[in-house]
Structure 1
Amino acid sequence: MSAAVAAAAAAAISGYHNSSNRDHTDQLPLTPQGVQVCVLPTLNRYENQKRGDWNSFREYLKNHNPPLTLSLCNGEHVLEFLHYLDQFGKTKVHAQTCAYFGNSYPPGPCPCPLKQSWGSLDGLIGRLHAAFEENIGSSEMNPFGVGAVTLYLREVRDVQAKVRELLFPARFPHEYLYGE
């Protein structure tokens, strides 16, 4: 946007908010050239993430075989989506049968897959839960709040916490409580 256009838009907005004889409900601000300007609110980081997550989930449903609509989506589909996201994860959680289990710096590669971290999944589900209620409006039918999804998140958290305890044992028991 050129400086002149930005200045014209700012002047129009300033004039729009400062005029007392205008009906604000049905008119948009005008630039000096008489063009109406639509000013969209800027979204914060959370709102941007929520919108992106919502769009990603809808795209996943659209590409699902067979394609799904939001009204047919349930907790099983949410779990499928979370498993699908694991392929993009960066957290390696070694299985107990892995030779590198408990080794924070394994000397070589292993077949254990990368997964999403619990914190990422928990935040994602929270944002999708909120987006579902904003867009669909039915908290009773919200697939992101069903028990199976909550249980899955708890299992991921517990497994990753157990591995973290093995890799980084606390020197003192209170470190688990206070994160020191």
Structure 2
Amino acid sequence: MASGNPSTKVVTALQTPIITTSTVTRMSTTRVATPVVTIAVSTVPTSSTPIMSVSTSGSTANVQHKANVGEMLRLGTPRLWLPAEQCRECFYPNDVNFNFCQQCGTRRLSRDRERPQPLPVDMEAIDSRLAELQEKAASMPYTQRKSKLQTDFEVFLESMQPPKTLMSAAPRDILRFLVWKDKGGRTVVHGADCSDENPCQCPSRLAFKTVDSYIGQLRSIFDKEGRGGEWNARVGFGNPAADKSVKQYLRMVTEEQMKQNLIPKQAIPMTTDKVERIINYIDLQLEKFPDIDPCHAFILGRDKALFLTLLFTGSRAGDLLIVKTENIHLPNGGFLLNHVWGKTLRDGNTRSCAIFQNDNSLLCPVTAIMGYVELAKALGINLSRVFSFVRLLETERLTMCLCLLMRQILDCVFIVTKLQCTRGRLYIVFEVHVLLP
């Protein structure tokens, strides 16, 4: 027991301390709150209840929130999880709906703003646009070839014992599929004991370039199905078309064909004398205009300009056929072709090709293009907003079918009088002369 001054701080086993805590907040130069805690102990009888008095620089609501959380933890009540949001001063992760920071007591900025007006959204037009783009993507030649290969591969997997799918296929299955596709190859691989008999009994295989293309398409198919990355044989996870065994198969097929000098077939080069013969024949036929069929005359003029342009620019035929008239400029003494789309030009860049006049009038591409434009005007074809080299393959077949139909069934003569191209569509104006008995 203690005696004397009643203010003396004495703690015995029969007494319970009262803890009075006062917290003073000091702001450092880095604006981080540093709490300083002072504890005062005094004596009270044992029967008294512990009291905790907290004084902070924050708000009373924040202190009450802490007391509620402590009471919940003491009673074993789980606290609901709420997403966190950082304080703008001390970056402490508070609850998303906090008003004052639990660390530094900073008041949260008000976020009450007027609700924006709803925008007019035409979901039907948006879905129609997406469907249009998907249809265009599905109609591309590469997409169609890959889709056909995927169908063949899926049927092949279903025909195996036991049946498999794309999600359970392994590199061994891809090698079997490539060997199975060899039946459609046209590259004859002669064996060591092959005789000189013609034809021999050696098997036909896929060209190694075709095998390489199939492997690339299969890799893309598996990536689309969610099986990307390198193949892991231990867990059976990844892209089976990217396995080392598939690459080794391609290397062995390439080596087998290259040792027998089975190089890929290349296009026959066109020399200048061959081009001169073609142009001479076209000029002889165009001299009969307008006595010849207008459709045939237009095709001859177009092909002449196309051949000479290919000769002097070195562009691909497919790239040149999709050049529009608006992408052709007329500088002094020549033409300037501006390629914006092609097989190797799909990144938004452009490639320009200049064409100048040639001293040889027979092989001058500028003269051929000008003659092609004049012939189109004479036939009533407007080339201002369409492809510069209009494709008339369907028109040629239509003209021949109509001529045969009218002469054999209707007993009349079919004569094309005018060709008109509007918005990329070609319209044919013709006359029918009935043969009287």
Q: Name the TM-score, length of structure 1 as normaliser.
A: 0.66
Partner Cα separation in structure 2 for residue 23 and residue 137 of structure 1: 36
Partner Cα separation in structure 2 for residue 142 and residue 92 of structure 1: 31
Residues 1:41 and 2:135 are matched in the alignment: yes
| Higher percent of residues as strand | 2
Residues 1:160 and 2:254 are matched in the alignment: no
The superposition leaves residues 54-96 of structure 1 with CA deviations (integer Å, 9 ceiling, x where unpaired) of: 1211111112222112232111111100111111111100012
CA gap of 1:52–1:97, structure 2 versus 1, over 3 A, is same
Partner of 1:34: none
The superposition leaves residues 75-126 of structure 1 with CA deviations (integer Å, 9 ceiling, x where unpaired) of: 11111001111111111000122124xxxxxx42222111111011100110
Partner of 1:113: 203
Residue 151 of structure 1, CA deviation: 0.4
Moved more, 132-141 or 74-83: 132-141
Partner of 1:8: none
Partner Cα separation in structure 2 for residue 92 and residue 134 of structure 1: 34
CA gap of 1:38–1:149, structure 2 versus 1, over 3 A, is closer
Partner of 1:23: 121
Paired residues of 1:28 and 1:38 also in contact (CA < 8 A): no
Q: Which has the larger radius of gyration?
A: 2
Paired residues of 1:87 and 1:114 also in contact (CA < 8 A): yes
Paired residues of 1:82 and 1:121 also in contact (CA < 8 A): yes
Moved more, 115-124 or 131-140: 131-140
Residues 1:92 and 2:188 are matched in the alignment: yes
Quick one: which of 114, 135, 138 aligns to 2:225? Answer: 135
How many positions carry a matched residue from both structures?
135
Q: Indicate the SS of the match to 1:164.
A: coil
Q: Percent identity?
A: 27
Q: Indicate the SS of the match to 1:41.
A: helix
| Higher percent of residues as helix | 1
Partner Cα separation in structure 2 for residue 49 and residue 118 of structure 1: 17
Amino acid at match of 1:41: E
What is the root-mean-square deviation of aligned Cα atoms in Å? 2.7
Partner Cα separation in structure 2 for residue 38 and residue 147 of structure 1: 38
Partner of 1:58: 154
Quick one: which of 230, 248, 259 aligns to 1:151? Answer: 248
Residue 22 of structure 1, CA deviation: 4.5
Q: Indicate the SS of the match to 2:124.
A: coil
Q: Name the TM-score, length of structure 2 as normaliser.
A: 0.29
Q: Indicate the SS of the match to 1:71.
A: coil
Moved over 4 A (4+): none
Q: Which blocks of at least 5 consecutive residues in structure 1 are unaligned?
A: 1-20, 31-36, 101-106, 167-180
Amino acid at match of 2:121: D
The superposition leaves residues 141-168 of structure 1 with CA deviations (integer Å, 9 ceiling, x where unpaired) of: 11111111100101111111111179xx
Q: Which blocks of at least 5 consecutive residues in structure 2 are unaligned?
A: 1-118, 231-237, 264-437
Amino acid at match of 2:175: L
Q: Which has the higher contact order (CA 8 A, sep 6+)?
A: 1
Residues 1:79 and 2:175 are matched in the alignment: yes
Residue 136 of structure 1, CA deviation: 2.3
CA gap of 1:137–1:150, structure 2 versus 1, over 3 A, is same
